[in-house]
Amino acid sequence: MPELPEVETVVREIRAPLVGRRFARVRAGKLALRKPWQPAWAKILTGSRVTAVTRRGKWIVIEIERNRYLVVHLGMTGQFTVTHADAPIAAHTHFVIGLDNGAELRYRDVRRFGSLTLYAGRAELDASFESAGLGPEPFGLDRKYWRDSLARTARSLKAVLLDQRVVAGVGNIYADESLFRAKLHPALIGKTLTPAASDRLRKAIEGVLTFAIERRGSSIRDYIGGSGERGSFQNEFKVYGQTGKPCPRCKTPISRIRLAGRSTHFCPKCQRVE
């Protein structure tokens, strides 16, 4: 599933081709995605100008004039790209949005777990994120908030990092990589961390995500950026998917366990349970 670095990469790569352009036409496929698409939305969007493209957690937010917002979630296999109109349309393409300069914005999703939803105002959009319990962004995360969030939970660190209500955008890959950078075992209980260890993890999360964005995210299966190019952070993995390979710090074989319902990778020597 695309996580924050992948979504941020898509946002950065579609922003320039979209902002200032108008939607000339909107064509939706017949197969349903995770959330239902309202046919009336196509009429609302047609002729409207894009004013901004941003990200909130793992959501892409396309701001349209007259205070409307087209919000896109990539699900597990979603691809959201700007391409030439004469480029062949790939199988599993569910939306084709023509732009006023002849380019097209296309949404492709093999498993159809993603969604495109139109919100009729900022209040409606904010209410949607609030109902989802979406936590703060991981960049510039308030130190007291983070320490307090860990201090009051009896859950494992891995479970905390996957909880979008605590911090938005972090998923399985970057949770494992952040815990490795912070030298913390994923099964450690949040309330057992010292303030120093809490700060170390907070900085590790931001550092890993920043580096991953610089590498345009991780292309393991379906993910491509908004330009159609693959990411390269998968070449930088220290522990994720590296089971049995030597730890890059101490050469101990990387272990894999299951935590919070997800496969979890760590170095049993560098990330000991204290």
Cβ contact 161:179 at 8 Å: yes
Report how far residue 175's alpha carbon sits from residue 118's, in angstroms, rounded to the nearest whole number. 31
124: Cβ contacts below 8 Å, ≥ 6 apart: none
Tokens of 168: 């938005």
Please confirm, yes or no, whether 3 is among the known catalytic residues.
Answer: yes
Beta bridge partners of 246: 253
Choosing from 155, 200, 256, 262, which is the catalytic residue? Answer: 262
Instruction: List % helix, strand, coil for the chain (3-state, nearest 5).
Output: 30, 25, 45
Q: CB-based contacts of 181: which residues, under 8 Å, 6+ apart? A: 204, 207, 208, 238
Q: Residue 187 phi/psi, 5° resolution? A: -90, -5
229 is catalytic: no
Closest by CA position to 188, among listed 157, 162, 160: 157
Which single residue is written with the structure tokens 């109902």?
Answer: 131
Residue 135 CA to residue 193 CA, distance in Å, equals: 21
Cβ neighbours for 199, distance < 8 A, ≥ 6 positions apart: 143, 146, 147
Q: Angle at which helices 172-182 and 195-214 pack, to 10 degrees?
A: 130
Residue with tokens 């938005």: 168
Let me know if 195 is a catalytic residue.
Answer: no
Is the Cα dihedral 148, 149, 150, 155 positive or negative? Answer: positive
Catalytic residue, candidates 55, 56, 58, 158: 58
- Report the catalytic residues: 2-3, 58, 262
